[in-house]
Amino acid sequence: MTVISGKLTKKLVSTLGAGRHGDGNGLYLVVDPSGARRWIVRVTVKGQRNRKGGPLRTDFGLGAADLVTLHQARDRALEYRRMARQGLNPRHNGMREVPSFEALAQQVHRNRMPTWKNTKHGQQWINTLRDYAFPKIGALPVDAIGQPEVLWCLDPIWTAKHETAKRLAQRIKAVLDVAKSKGFREGENPVSAIKDAGVLPKVTAKPRHHQAMDWRDVPAFYAELRRQKGMASNALMFTCLTGSRTSEVLGMRWAEVDERAQIWTCPQERMKAGEAHRVPLTPQMLEVIEPLRALGSEVVFVGQKRHRPLSNMAMLMLLRRMGVEGVTVHGFRSTFRDWAAEVAKAPREIAEMSLAHRVGSDVERAYARSDLLERRRALMAEWSEYVESHADTEKSA
């Protein structure tokens, strides 16, 4: 093996400050201001010219200095120069620079941005890697990442932040899958290998249930709610009647309401499933929202600032002021679902679609063209009448 007599030593590799430090024969140690260290080699390809007609000189990365020793860097640099002397451009002849994990992850993130339904989700995708993977394996070439490196990222949060750890594993796997598809690595994805081997302990996630009011208590509660003053009471009444999510209700705009057809169409941007959802409006629902038109706002449930929605905590705070403990706003969806099953005896697909839940497999949904609006309208009318039954009794008294 040819030995290159260079200027660098093992000690210098670990102690030199920021800058580009030559070892001779085109090999350089590059030290970033952050302290990250990597090797590059500059070669001149025989017989090839750049755009200006001069010799074609190209830089190639050889890996991080904490993974590739000085001796290994010299050997790799020699191989690149041999190819260049033969007139072979390493970039086009199998000697491609292997990107770091962070560089490829950023590229994958940019490529996938158009596929996410909102910017926030896309930002969460890269933020998880930024917080838990980049500090540890971000500078490593993607072909140097195996099970130990993946475990280094997952172990500290596997039990303490299990859901985050699972998302992190999925995102690391996605980046390494792309690396393999581009020819930067070979073999099994280490994330899959870790999962198959059962290396990490099994964590049983505790089911999260939104505390809900018993459906039998709703009419009396609703009658008390009608006596409350303020926009939060209007929003909460509408939420109870429609079974909609808080974000769907508070973002509601008059442009989404077809008063003639008595339909509110919540756009896909605010729907959890990413699909627009039509809500049949009953007389009781219209009674809640129609007086609010006079406020002249674009949004239905306007907050303290004109044209701005009510705060997402307003309804919960109202529940607390009313002395209603152990119940969440989201829980009224469960309340409706229990009532639909126990009292209305509604078919499952009607009740689930009323809550904008997806029903059936992808194939079944592909053939189910109808959203069963009129059947859902009948169910929501029955629910509205039940919710207001106590108030109707008080009116007649």
Task: For 170-209, write each residue's pLDDT tens digit.
Answer: 999 999 999 888 878 878 899 999 988 888 888 875 555 5
| pLDDT greater than 70 at residue 142 | yes
Task: Look over the chain and give the mean of its residue pLDDT values, rounded to a whole number.
Answer: 86
- What's the pLDDT score for residue 1? 33
| pLDDT greater than 50 at residue 4 | no
Q: Which of 262, 223, 250 is nearest to 378 (CA)?
A: 262
Q: Which residues contact 232 (CB under 8 A, 6 or more apart)?
A: 310, 314, 315, 317, 318
- What's the pLDDT score for residue 263? 97
| pLDDT greater than 90 at residue 289 | yes
CA–CA gap between residue 39 and residue 161 (Å, rounded): 36
H helix or E strand, kind and range, residue 27: strand 27-31
Q: Is 185 exposed, middle or buried (0-12, 13-18, 19+ CB in 10 A)?
A: buried
CA–CA gap between residue 105 and residue 111 (Å, rounded): 10
CA–CA gap between residue 42 and residue 44 (Å, rounded): 7
| pLDDT greater than 60 at residue 97 | yes
The fold of the 215-396 domain, in CATH, is: hpI Integrase; Chain A (1.10.443)
- State pLDDT tens for residues 347-357: 999 999 999 98
| pLDDT greater than 60 at residue 104 | yes
Q: Which of 241, 269, 240, 237 is nearest to 253 (CA)?
A: 269
- What's the pLDDT score for residue 240? 96
Q: Which of 24, 32, 31, 96 is nearest to 58 (CA)?
A: 96
Tokens of 338: 């229990």
Tokens of 13: 């590799």
* Cα–chain center distance at 324: 33
H helix or E strand, kind and range, residue 20: strand 19-24
Class at the top of the CATH hierarchy for domain 10-92: alpha beta
- What's the pLDDT score for residue 66? 82
| pLDDT greater than 90 at residue 341 | yes
- What's the pLDDT score for residue 50? 65
- What's the pLDDT score for residue 360? 62
Beta strands 27-31; 37-49: pairing state: antiparallel
- What's the pLDDT score for residue 178? 93
- State pLDDT tens for residues 15-53: 999 888 999 888 999 888 878 888 888 888 777 666 676
Least confident of 72-76, 104-108, 149-153: 72-76
Query: 119 to each of 60, 102, 248, 250, 275, how far by Cα in Å?
Result: 34, 20, 18, 20, 17
Domain chopping of the chain, boundaries: 10-92, 101-197, 215-396
| pLDDT greater than 50 at residue 344 | yes
Mean pLDDT for 134-142 is 89
Question: What CATH number should be reported for the domain whose range is 101-197?
Answer: 1.10.150.130
Looking at per-residue pLDDT, the higher value among 240 and 57 belongs to 240
Sheet harboring 19-24: ordered strands across?
19-24, 27-31, 37-49, 55-64
CA–CA gap between residue 210 and residue 334 (Å, rounded): 8
- State pLDDT tens for residues 78-92: 888 888 787 776 665
- What's the pLDDT score for residue 168? 95
Amino acid identity of 146?
Answer: G
Mean pLDDT for 372-393 is 88
Percent of residues, the chain, with pLDDT higher than 70 = 88
**Residues pairing with 257 in the sheet:** 264
Mean pLDDT for 238-250 is 95
